[in-house]
Chains A and B, each alone.
Chain A
């Protein structure tokens, strides 16, 4: 009998215990994988290639403060800028104010919008239809599916920031991966209905020629407006989105705390199981040693068992985590789930590595004790 098959058989000898340990470890690793995926999405992932070439310019002090319309042409004049569009958060309601009916509603300039939103796929004839209808709207395909919207349908939004209820006609539907649940309509329509808003915009998004232009363009834009009545803050789209995450609180510390608790919890569970398992086999270890098996052999036997068990739990947890994330990002419940979140292969590997390391660490002490046991005492032991 080889060492590996011996380990494998012993691991699943007490089926119930192994199964429960595995389940316990898999739930912890499920959580660990989820947390690591969130971390990756927020802090490591640079976003799709189109997004890294976009910069967002907003009022330096507050996002709630509008910027003057003439800023757009000044931003366009900055070398490296390919296109620039205004975007204004309409923040209205659709149907009611329940959270499942909340989605982003933005006023923009349809004539140039597609040059910036290069990753949104829309048939050219629909883009033209949207540009020609002042009350037209461009909507997300998943949103359209959810509400059963078709091209030509009319919908009404209720304003909360703006005292107007725009009636919009759906003229174009976009596909984007990962999905972004939003609706875009013509800024001019909003300006006509809300006189005080005329000549302003919430913020600007500019497309730059290459990703290396992001930093210099941001600096030049902010320098341009430094001494104007409204200084600006320009940053990459990713950084802009992260500022909303930062507002939730100290997310990094929060994730680390949970990860730490989880890893420690698996360590305890695994150590517990190994201690129980070795305790029940005291006499067996003595017999093995009588037969001439070495310390090292006994040691590796138990360590291997713990690592196998932890890895089995890890695989189950990682598979469950990727299933959950896949389901979440595609369900209509996914409000506030960062777009583009997924469990990548490196994340999976790190999770499994953590599982194996924890299995190893947890078994070291009990296995060492078992391997050092006095044979005579072991044989005498009453299990």
Chain B
């Protein structure tokens, strides 16, 4: 027969101070784990949600990133004639030759300077990225020294509001608009006209990359192969979605540090939980013996105490999640391992992160609770009753 769960709940309530302090200890560990998992989830979202499945990104063969890639105008002209490319609003092939460079911007809070990606694009560049919406102002105009910046760039860097001028390349650029990239990797970029930028960065001989928009995702796959297989071009086509998915590995250092920190803290908390449970068992020696006399079996006592420990850790997990919720959506940045520029992303406490946090806490509870529960179940009835 199982011991009713209300018995454990009452016991946790009885030792309020002990319960709260142990649960808080677990909550702190859970908070740290959530913080790190939310960082990774945000980073994942920044890359995974970037890219339109219809877009094919063309790079020089062997290049891993747009920053390292480059080819000249004649090759780009050949690309635009490939079959399978969709039409833009003017009835022309929807393609954009782009220039990608990295510039240094000072952080607003004065904590140093950060590399930011600047992207020069053709007018179609805006059309083939329908997920990016204008939030304020207007788009840059072709032939003008104008730029649009992402919302997070505007928030994180000084001199990046509408009407400000940014200094890079060979002169100043007017900020005319702010765009909302929906948390994608574009959230860390500054956009302008490709020809204006090429002149400033002495890259007039060609482009870093090209974006081709296929009529549909299936055609995009065929287009990708057509680019890569053409021996004359010496270019490589990748689906935009795949290109960004590969960059998720930028989260590598955070992931490793996160795992190490979370595991060390979890071990520490497990010992603390074990302590609390041992104390709970020690105080209740006579009570446990009474339960045994009443006919509750050893397994049911073992289960009862493990359950109590699990409840304790669950309490900690909930407290941890509550503590972290105000930070949901907080923005931060890290360096993209592929482009060396800043990727801006936000903390994302997704249901999966919350579930993982609860699971993490339950493991701590199980590890901390099993030995004391075992001890409780194995107690000699007679000595315990007498003590």
Contacts and interface: CB of A to CB of B under 8 A. Distances in A.
Interface of A: 16-17, 20-21, 23-28, 30-31, 60-65, 99, 159-161, 163, 229, 233, 242-244, 246-250, 252, 257-258, 261-262, 264-265, 268-269, 271-273, 275-276, 336
A258 B28 CA distance: 10
Interface of B: 17-18, 21-22, 24-25, 28-29, 31-32, 35, 60, 62-64, 67-68, 101-104, 111-115, 168-170, 202, 252-254, 261, 264-265, 267-269, 271-272, 274-276, 278-279, 332-335, 340, 342
Contacts of A271: 21
A74 B115 CA distance: 26
B307 to A, nearest CB: 21
Contact of B18 (A26, A27, A248, A272): A272
Contact of A99 (B32, B252, B271): B252
Contacts of A31: 261, 264-265, 268
B103 A24 contact: no
Nearest to B264: A31
Query: Which of B24, B25, B63, B68 has the largest number of chain A CB atoms within 10 A?
Result: B25
B259 to A, nearest CB: 13
A60 B275 contact: no
A242 B114 CA distance: 11
Contact of A275 (B17, B31, B62, B111): B17
A17 B275 contact: yes
25 contacts: A16-B278, A20-B271, A21-B272, A23-B271, A27-B267, A61-B168, A62-B102, A62-B104, A160-B62, A160-B64, A242-B112, A244-B335, A247-B114, A247-B334, A249-B254, A249-B333, A250-B332, A257-B32, A261-B32, A269-B25, A272-B21, A272-B25, A276-B18, A276-B275, A336-B253
Given A64-B340, A249-B332, A269-B25, A161 B272 contact: no
A257 B35 contact: yes
Contact of B101 (A16, A62, A268, A269): A62
Nearest to A265: B28
Nearest to B257: A254
Contacts of B169: 61
Given A62-B104, A233-B104, A247-B114, A265 B29 contact: yes
Nearest to B202: A229
A262 B265 contact: yes
Contacts of B271: 20-21, 23-24, 27, 269
A161 B67 CA distance: 9
Q: Give 4 closest A-B pairs by Cβ, nearest first.
A: A247-B335, A27-B268, A24-B271, A62-B102
Given A20-B274, A268-B24, 7 more contacts: A26-B268, A28-B268, A31-B261, A243-B113, A265-B25, A265-B269, A269-B272
B335 A261 contact: no
Given A248-B253, A268-B21, A276-B279, A261 B28 contact: yes
B272 A272 contact: yes
A250 B110 CA distance: 11
B261 A258 contact: yes
A246 B111 contact: yes
A16 B271 CA distance: 11
B334 A248 contact: yes
A62 B115 CA distance: 7
Contacts of B275: 17, 20-21, 24, 269, 272-273, 276
Contacts of A244: 335
A61 B35 CA distance: 33
Given A17-B275, A248-B335, A269 B253 contact: no
Nearest to B256: A336
B276 A246 contact: no
Nearest to B169: A61
A104 B272 CA distance: 43
A64 B99 CA distance: 14
Nearest to A23: B271
A243 B114 CA distance: 8
Nearest to B104: A61
B68 A161 contact: yes
Contacts of B254: 248-249
B112 A246 contact: yes
Given A31-B265, A160-B63, A265-B29, A247 B103 contact: no
A202 to B, nearest CB: 12
B344 to A, nearest CB: 10
A158 to B, nearest CB: 9
Nearest to B105: A61
A21 B31 CA distance: 21
A54 B113 CA distance: 21
A236 B67 CA distance: 26
A261 B31 contact: yes
A20 B268 CA distance: 9
A31 to B, nearest CB: 5
A264 B28 contact: yes
A64 B340 CA distance: 9
A318 to B, nearest CB: 14
B340 A265 contact: no
A63 B104 CA distance: 9
